[in-house]
A and B are shown apart, each in its own frame.
Chain A
Amino acid sequence: MTNERIVLSVEGLRKHFEIRKGIFRRVVGTVKAVDDISFKISHGETLSLVGESGCGKTTTSRCILRAIRPTAGAIKFNTSDNHNVDVAGLKRSELRPLRRQMQMIFQDPYSSLNPRMTIAEIIGEPLLVNGVGDLAARRRRVAELLDLVQLPQAYMNRFPHAFSGGQRQRIGIARALALNPALIVADEPVSALDVSVQAQIINLLLELQDRLGLSYLFVAHDLSVVKHVSHRVAVMYVGRIVELMPTDALFRTPRHPYTEALLSAVPVPDPRKRAKRIVLAGEVADPSRVPSGCAFHPRCRYAVERCKQEIPELRPVAGEGMVACHRANELALAGVGTDG
């Protein structure tokens, strides 16, 4: 159950990269990696950002954590004492106290841990850097965190090379939890893991959310994983959100043609359900050369003239969520049902 307190509110987020060429490094174009993104996440909720390469989901997640600086827009974070702080424009020094409240879990378990530090040092670093407790208190907290992620405390003095991918992810999760953040941005946390290990980590993330009241911004390209972890899903295409819905509604009754195509493309692990797929023509759009109007129109089966000219706004639909499609109210799109 999610309660109403909004933890993160993103408004009009944009991140543009300039393309420079030549000796004098003249600007010849712009990559609109993120182009006007808005959404909210409540306390205890998981919102997933889904999309294919170039859609801007990773850039969005890094902007929110201020690992990179957004070009425009507001990122309003609700701190533990109920203040709303816009982190988009803050200087590095002003950001430091806020760092404790939002943390990140990375995709690659092999490059997200410093191979020259012990597990205890890695997990304890956020505590050390923020001056939390003395050495003994930190060690206790590290032991607590290892318990939370179901790793034996005896492993504290080992180095990352001794652990498998799944265990390293647990260590990364423990580090992210060290300062009791309200929001965790998980950037494809299971895509580099084996299938059976994915299940363990997904379960762990769900459990931790229930126990600690965490909010997740979950960035993923794998829709089946998204189904298991999300309360709501935002589908991104070339820097924009095209659909934002509660999970069940999005999967059963998608309202955007791109969502329909994505769902249709996901291979279902049941040979008796080999439905006729929608196979999209063409390639995923290039964010440095965004098509006019609706970016999806060159590949859309339902496109009309208006789609070429006008960019569709993200509008509420049927009381559940939002869609950015001119024909949202006319189309009857196919989703995927639920088993049993």
Chain B
Amino acid sequence: MSSLVRPETPFVSAAEDRIAAATQLQLTWWRFRKHRLAVVSGIVVILFYLIVIFADFLAVTPPHATDAARSYIPPQAVHWFDQDGSFKPHVYALKGRRDLRTFKLHYAPDPTDRRYLVWFAEGYRYRLFGIFETKTHIVGLDRGVPEDALFLLGTDQLGRDVWSRLMLATRTSLTIGLVGVSLSLFLGIFLGGISGLYGGAIDTVIQRVIEILRSIPTIPLWMGLAAALPNSWSVTQVYIAITVIISLIGWTELARVVRGRFLALREEDFITAAELAGASRLRIIFRHMVPSFLSHIIAAVSLALPAMIISETTLSFLGLGLRPPAISWGVLLQDAQNLQAIAMAPWLLLVAVPVVIVILAFNFLGDGLRDAADPYG
């Protein structure tokens, strides 16, 4: 026998050895990494959820502080370099001037009074992570006095700082999305699983229910449900109720994905092999089937989240969801609802920008996850 004959080896090099021992998770991650758009979107999503955690830190002005005198102030321009060319970001202080005919106070920037930006400045009190009391915010003005304020995105009609409200709105809107999706997830997996696993009459009933739910026009449905909420409910209660309402509709998509996967998996030989080995039903479901569709679930979830966010934004925008004094994207956008407001204060529309960015990011992320999860098994 020639000395060149080699016994069986599936792979030749050490690099391929690494691939051979790679788990599904690793393979999925490596495939995901190749989708640059999805990776970037993933980073964007992470950044947004950092905002959720540090919302108060990122806000500069008390978001609820109204001051009719400061209404509709345009965003303060940040000048990055000082007259001598050094990097000293600053804004021009706002000086109030009374219009002698209307006796209204108008604020306008005063170029002679430069206010330098200070990092980690002191501002209003809040609780970081809900635990630590602190007054530190990311940025503030030097020589600060309580009446001074930094309006990075201008103010709304009631003189409230749009930037700070945007930070808190982001927190609210993104967490509603998460909570809503978790509820949908639970319902979707449970009902979709039963549907796919047991089939027969149960499956038929659940499928028909899903179809009926999906065929109801959403906005009238929401209007009806929201109108049914008692006026006396507190902000928090309304918040929870809205979340529940949204997730009651959203579970149908996930249920269909889960059902489809269960149906496909039932026929696989390795499931039969496990049954023939004597594995219990429970083990087959949790050890064999669930890991198989986990990646599909993750992909479906990342696509369901934007739907939830849009739902909440729409509801609140229409005045049916969260109402002031709660702050969410939809509530903020409500302020931009009339033409007059937009004409006078177009910066109010800037609230739409993070909404669009987050939705796009979740969509690209979800696509990337689905493509990474799919090519295998």
Contact = CB atoms under 8 A, between A and B. Distances in A.
| Chain A directly contacts chain B within the complex, with at least one CB pair under 8 Å | yes
Interface of A: 65, 67, 96, 99-100, 103-104, 106-108, 111-116, 125-126, 129-130, 151-152, 155, 157-159, 161-164, 167, 172, 175, 178-179
A167 B288 CA distance: 21
14 contacts: A67-B276, A104-B273, A106-B269, A106-B273, A108-B269, A112-B269, A112-B273, A114-B270, A129-B279, A155-B20, A159-B21, A159-B24, A162-B10, A178-B277
Contacts of B24: 115-116, 159
Contact of B278 (A100, A104, A151, A172): A100
B20 A113 contact: no
Nearest to B292: A116
B283 interface: yes
A178 B270 CA distance: 15
Interface in B228-280: 268-270, 272-280
A176 to B, nearest CB: 8
A318 to B, nearest CB: 38
Nearest to B24: A116
Contact of B10 (A106, A107, A113, A163): A163
Contacts of A114: 270, 274, 288, 292
B278 A99 contact: yes
B22 interface: yes
Given A162-B10, A167-B8, A116 B272 contact: no
Nearest to A100: B278
B344 interface: no
B47 interface: no
Contact of B376 (A67, A106, A115, A129): A115
Interface string B1-42: 000000010110000000111111001000000000000000
A100 B275 CA distance: 11
A161 B376 CA distance: 9
A111 B274 CA distance: 12
B270 A112 contact: yes
Contacts of B291: 116
A172 B20 CA distance: 18
B377 interface: yes
A113 B19 CA distance: 18
A178 B24 CA distance: 25
A67 B376 CA distance: 26
A115 to B, nearest CB: 4
Nearest to A151: B8
A279 B232 CA distance: 86
A67 B280 CA distance: 14
B20 to A, nearest CB: 3
Interface residues of B, number: 28
A122 to B, nearest CB: 8
A129 B277 contact: yes
A71 to B, nearest CB: 19
A126 B21 contact: no
A96 B275 CA distance: 9
Contacts of A179: 277
A115 B376 CA distance: 8
Given A104-B276, A129-B279, A167 B376 contact: no
Contacts of B10: 155, 162-164, 167
Contacts of A65: 276
A114 B279 CA distance: 14
A164 B303 CA distance: 36
Contacts of A67: 272, 275-276
Given A114-B288, A164-B10, 6 more contacts: A116-B23, A126-B278, A161-B27, A167-B8, A178-B277, A179-B277
Contacts of B274: 114, 125, 129
> Which 10 A/B pairs are nearest by Cβ-Cβ distance?
A162-B20, A126-B277, A112-B269, A115-B377, A99-B278, A106-B269, A114-B270, A111-B269, A158-B20, A129-B279
Interface in B25-72: 27
A104 B272 contact: yes
Contact of A158 (B21, B273, B276, B376): B21
Nearest to B275: A67
Nearest to B278: A99
Interface in B88-129: none
A163 B288 CA distance: 20
Contact of A162 (B11, B270, B275, B283): B11
Contacts of B278: 96, 99-100, 126, 129-130
